[in-house]
Amino acid sequence: MNAAAENPFGINSKNYPEFMGRCSEHIVRKGKDMADYFTESPEPDKIIYEVYEAESQANMRTALTVLKPGKVGTEYHMTKGHFHEDPEAGEVYFCLKGRGIILMQTRDGRTDEVWLEPGSVACIPPLWAHRTVNVGNYDFVMLAIFPTDSGHDYGTIEKEGFIKRVVEENGVPKVV
């Protein structure tokens, strides 16, 4: 165990850029990284979302995702989505900014969704794949906390996709 004490910190809808600055990992996902995920082809260089991940603390990882507003065809911008490799690892999402939906599904085809606005929290149980969708007109910013050794299994979703998708219909988001 690391004997050095870590500093506590608070994250909110105003100071989160400070947290981003302290992160050791920064992932940028552009249209070209997600060509197989949307029904239509995204513009290759358009940024869909960014993930900032901090060093693990207390066996937990903290990641901040900024999902840009916009659509590819009628489908709203979304993350790739993943299962955890560890079947016992769940995750908690806190919405800091914007409006979004978390789509969830199990390997045997159960689906669920949680709509998020600032102040909302989604609890993702183990064995549920999760994808975030921005259905608002501004950045959707959320903080995720999950066990350090969760692992990301992208393969299943990359191959099979999500059962439900979020599209714009008559100017409003609809889960179909």
Question: Which residues in this chain contact ligand M6P in the complex, by CB under 6 A?
Answer: 51, 63, 65, 79-82, 91, 144, 152
**Residue 114: CB minimum distance to ligand M6P, A:** 14
By beta-carbon proximity to Zn ion, the closer residue of 79 and 134 is: 79
Q: Which does 63 bind (CB under 5 to 8 A by kind): Zn ion, ligand M6P, none?
A: ligand M6P
Please report the beta strands in 1-110, taking only residues with DSSP state E, as ranges in sequence order: 25-30, 47-53, 60-67, 71-72, 75-76, 83-84, 91-97, 100-105
Binding residues vs Zn ion (CB under 5 A): 91
CA dist., res. 47 & res. 24, Å (int): 20
Neighbours of 18 (CB within 10 A): 10
**Residue 91: CB minimum distance to Zn ion, A:** 4
**Residue 108: CB minimum distance to ligand M6P, A:** 20
Q: Are 169 and 161 in contact (CB under 8 A)?
A: no
By beta-carbon proximity to Zn ion, the closer residue of 75 and 91 is: 91
